[in-house]
Amino acid sequence: MEDEQGGRREHAEVIVVGAGVIGTSTALALARHGHDVLVIDRGSAIGHGSTSSSAGIIRLHADDPVSCSLAMEALPLWESWRDFLRAPDDEEMAQFVRCGSVILDHGDGATDRYAEVLASCGAAAEQLDAAGLLELAPYLDIHRFGPPVDITNDAFWVEPTELLQGALHTPASGYVGDPALAAKNLADAAAREGARFRLRSEVSGFDHSDETWTVRLADGVNLTAQVVVNAAGPHSAHINALAGVGDDFTVGVRQLREELHHVPAPPGVNLERDGVHVVDSDLGINFRPEGGGAFLVGSNGAECDPVTVVDDPDDFSAQVSVRSWDRQVLRLARRVRGLTVPPRPRGVVGLYDATDDWAPIYDTTAREGFVVAMGTSGNQFKTAPVVGDLMRQIVESALEKEQAPAVLHGQTTGREFPGAAFSRQRTAVAARSRG
């Protein structure tokens, strides 16, 4: 087909902008429900946006029941990944590693609050005393080092005298070591259901008329659709601006630069057997086992850690910084007995598309036929297999020219999720924690 300027034109019922874990999951759910979907991404490979730098932690604990339930709904899908995606036996699949999470108890009441939320969602959790924590992860130093301070602060180096009280253990949590592969698996599954993919295709603008969205690509091609889904990760605010969307949002979104560091475990530590995801608010870090006998460590967003807001998601340093490495890895060395700090920093850098309240925005917008799956805030990898189907429900409302449904349904158990929790116009609860 040609458009009025003589350029090539391709049509789909739904165009998804972004082939990260959220866009591909959305495409799969839509294709499974018989919709004609086209996913476009400016990159040359699936899942190579912020998804590729994700820590891939699938944790169940959360500040609120909606987040916890969403993670609970997604967990069985990660556990049965090949079956869920109806993938052939010879397809390389992302692996869910069930290592469990421990949330260290340093007496601030957080573990009691998490335990309450987990119980209300039916998630298994056990309180460990200090001996139980050591039995689970014998390489941990269970002293209390906090509250977290910068390593330039003398208090960081003071020898601790008190011990942690123990930890809250969620044995079902885990991680996916190759998040980009998970997105590729979703894309391959969507393609098997008929979804189309167009890589190396950068969106440069939109037009909307006669109930049709025209998606303009930088290479001059125009695409048309009834509904557009903005799943552009840290570029979602830019895509909204191109579409003239976002003025009525009451929830703000910022792009935050985050580093994860890769540190070999001390000799004798067997992370395949004893590895566990550790949430350590006492030191302001969290870490999980990484393949090859190493830890992957990141910040918990402690107050002493600088927040790096990135104005242009195409312009930030993708190199691990020595300053950030020292800050995170020296803390890890406090918690893991015998850990030596390698001389050369190693890790990944990525951007969070972070909202004011660390909850995502899954919603329709003021412009008919334009919906958003954005603000994933460094925590929506784990929920992605479920989010795809929630987005499918929102897209189907948009196709009917309706607002997002008041109640969304999880496809695993039928759990209900209030649409208001993901609304672009919610009142952001700023006190919520991110990790």
Ligand X SMILES: Cc1cc2nc3c(=O)[nH]c(=O)nc-3n(C[C@H](O)[C@H](O)[C@H](O)COP(=O)(O)OP(=O)(O)OC[C@H]3O[C@@H](n4cnc5c(N)ncnc54)[C@H](O)[C@@H]3O)c2cc1C
Near ligand X in 254-283, by CB under 6 A:
258, 260
Among 352, 358, 362, 422, binds ligand X (CB under 6 A): 352
Q: Measuring CA to CA, which residue among 300, 78, 280, 69 is closest to residue 179? A: 78
Name the minimum Å distance from CB 248 to ligand X.
21
Among 182, 203, 276, 372, binds ligand X (CB under 6 A): 203
Per-residue x/- marks for ligand X, 301-340, CB under 6 A? ----------------------------------------
Name the minimum Å distance from CB 187 to ligand X.
11
Name the minimum Å distance from CB 161 to ligand X.
33
Name the minimum Å distance from CB 319 to ligand X.
14
Using CA atoms, how far apart are residues 194 and 177, in angstroms rounded to an integer?
28
User: Would you state the structure tokens that stand for residue 250, as one six-digit string?
Assistant: 């009451």
Using CA atoms, how far apart are residues 71 and 125, in angstroms rounded to an integer?
14
Name the minimum Å distance from CB 242 to ligand X.
8
Collapsing DSSP to helix, strand or coil, 274 comes out as helix
CA-to-CA dists, residue 167 to 105, 114, 262, 336, angstroms: 5, 11, 24, 16
# residues contacting ligand X (CB under 6 A): 39
CA angle 218, 221, 222 (to 5 degrees): 105
Interface stretch with ligand X, choices 50-58, 75-83, 89-97, 114-122 (CB under 6 A): 50-58
The neighbour count for residue 316, using CB atoms within 10 Å, is 18
Among 255, 376, 397, 411, binds ligand X (CB under 6 A): 376
Name the minimum Å distance from CB 129 to ligand X.
27
Among 27, 30, 31, 50, binds ligand X (CB under 6 A): 50
188 binds ligand X (CB under 6 A): no
391 Ramachandran zone, left/alpha/beta (phi>0; psi -120 to 50): alpha
Name the minimum Å distance from CB 243 to ligand X.
11
Task: Find the largest Cα–Cα distance for the chain.
Answer: 75
363 binds ligand X (CB under 6 A): no
Name the minimum Å distance from CB 40 to ligand X.
5
Which amino acid is residue 402, in one-letter code? Answer: E
Name the minimum Å distance from CB 201 to ligand X.
6
The neighbour count for residue 52, using CB atoms within 10 Å, is 19
Collapsing DSSP to helix, strand or coil, 430 comes out as coil
Interface stretch with ligand X, choices 15-23, 87-95, 97-105, 120-128 (CB under 6 A): 15-23
Interface stretch with ligand X, choices 72-80, 246-254, 344-352, 413-421 (CB under 6 A): 344-352
Among 30, 38, 41, 62, binds ligand X (CB under 6 A): 41
Among 14, 21, 133, 386, binds ligand X (CB under 6 A): 21
User: Would you state the structure tokens that stand for residue 43, as one six-digit string?
Assistant: 């990159």
Using CA atoms, how far apart are residues 226 and 133, in angstroms rounded to an integer?
54
User: Phi, psi (5° rounding) for residue 368?
Assistant: -50, 130
Closer residue to ligand X, CB minimum distance, 115 or 232: 232
365 binds ligand X (CB under 6 A): no
Using CA atoms, how far apart are residues 69 and 219, in angstroms rounded to an integer?
42
385 binds ligand X (CB under 6 A): no
Collapsing DSSP to helix, strand or coil, 371 comes out as strand
345 binds ligand X (CB under 6 A): no
The C-alpha torsion from 233 through 238 and 242 to 248, rounded to 10°, is 90
Name the minimum Å distance from CB 268 to ligand X.
27
Among 100, 148, 174, 233, binds ligand X (CB under 6 A): 233
Q: Are 143 and 318 in contact (CB under 8 A)?
A: no
Residues 6 or more apart whose Cβ sits within 8 Å of residue 319: 349
Q: Which positions lie near ligand X, rule CB under 6 A?
A: 17-23, 40-43, 48-51, 53-57, 202-203, 231-235, 239, 258, 260, 350-352, 376, 378-382
